[in-house]
Structure 1
């Protein structure tokens, strides 16, 4: 039998399937609402809105997926303009790293289940969690997923056109493998999941490690102990 959290999470994700659409922006006074996948289509408009100086808070609402490169662009604009960030509903993958770039980054209030899924390359050790997303450490963690510029890689087209990952591993030059590795490590469903669930007595926070095999059934993720999002700097007071 699934836990109540698993049931709530399964329902919320089933309702959020349409959120895989391209990112959309909506201006609400001094708040800029961002929803949908961070696929790069709204980067320029996002940067222009923040550069106007009128935005105080960027609100990510049900934003699932995106690439590390786009996450870096959103994060850079947020950091450069010193705005706060907020999550309402779900914020996964690229959205999570953009969220962490806020001057203050918090979960929104209300009766929704808030979830932040931060991609990581493997199961983090307790020592890794302590500083992984604090300040510049979050930027360095994100940069690990971003491949170096294409011109830095050899122009051996025969090697890069291999039909399978196994063949590439056996035959491609080391530099080509190094350039491809970051993208292979970026898995939108693999990472550390922070969940905030409303109850009659306030919000309950839980942290999980998801290895990517769970699909949309987040109740299959492993519960992490001593991973309070406030202590780890994932959420600010």
Structure 2
């Protein structure tokens, strides 16, 4: 890419990151929404374990569904992540991510094979962090954290680099974590991965870029 083209692309990316970062710090308290549309299940909001029963119900009533789309799905509990992941894994469902797919939603997303970013215009992100206490006052126990990290390592086929895994493991503070991003610059789909330590005021452009750690190479997506 020529210097002028590269500069324009970076300008577009920064505008996306600034706007998107504001949404990241103001995570919605919206309850989980699990619905069927266009022959697939769409999961949004913050998921709870009981939301998994809705997924089972939709699959039972729509046996042709083979895909779960996590769209603006912004977390939940580890119990919810496990419940959704178990269903997705056992049913051999595909998963897609669009908009924000973070925290518990990202863990559930990793159970899908194949899995990828939804091919839509705009900006999408898969964000992972270490488990934290319900009031965000500190990290969860070492046992809980290790169990989650082992699940991530298995789900990604051991492709996560030690640097990325260590950063995820240390990211328990609010608005911290490793963010795998996919976005459009003109007609070209771009990717970028950043680490936020929670001091960036929710603005992703201030987070540190992790070079060579795109979502595909790290096993976060499979295609």
TM-score in same-fold range (> 0.5)? yes
Match of residue 106, structure 1, among 83, 104, 116: 116
Of 193, 208, 214, the residue aligned with 2:179 is 193
- Tell me, in whole angstroms, the C-alpha distance in 2 between the residues paired with 1:227 and 1:10: 21
Equivalent in the alignment of 2:203 = 217
Structure 1 residues not aligned, in runs of 5+: 123-127, 139-181
Aligned residues, how many?
185
In the superposition, relative to structure 1, how do residues 217 and 50 fare at CA in structure 2: closer, same or farther (>3 Å)?
A: same
Q: CA deviation at 1:190?
A: 2.4
Q: Compared with structure 1, are the counterparts of its residues 217 and 235 closer, same or farther at alpha carbon in structure 2 (3 Å cutoff)?
A: same
Listed as ranges, the gaps of 5+ residues in structure 2 are: 1-9, 132-138, 140-148, 160-168
- Alpha-carbon contact 1:51-1:81 (below 8 Å) kept: no
Which of 92, 95, 104 pairs up with 2:102?
92
Structure having the higher strand fraction is: 2
User: Does the C-alpha gap of structure 1 residues 185 and 70 become closer, same or farther in structure 2, counting only changes over 3 Å?
Assistant: farther
- Residue 58 (structure 1) aligns with: 68
- Residue 34 of structure 1: CA displacement? 0.9
Deviations 1:138-177 (A, max 9, x none): 9xxxxxxxxxxxxxxxxxxxxxxxxxxxxxxxxxxxxxxx
Q: Using the alignment, how far apart are the partners of 1:228 and 1:135 within structure 2?
A: 13
Change (3 A) 1:224 1:15: closer
Question: What does residue 144 of structure 2 align with?
Answer: none
Output the CA distance in 1 between the equivalents of 2:196 and 2:176.
Answer: 5
Q: Structure 2 length as normaliser, TM-score?
A: 0.71
Aligned residue for 1:229? 215
User: CA separation of 1:223/1:15 partners in 2, compared to 1, >3 Å: closer, same or farther?
Assistant: closer
Q: What SS class does the counterpart of residue 227 from structure 1 fall into?
A: coil
Give the root-mean-square deviation of aligned CA atoms.
Answer: 3.1
- CA drift at 1:218: 1.5
* Partner secondary structure for residue 65 of structure 1: strand
TM-score (norm 1): 0.67
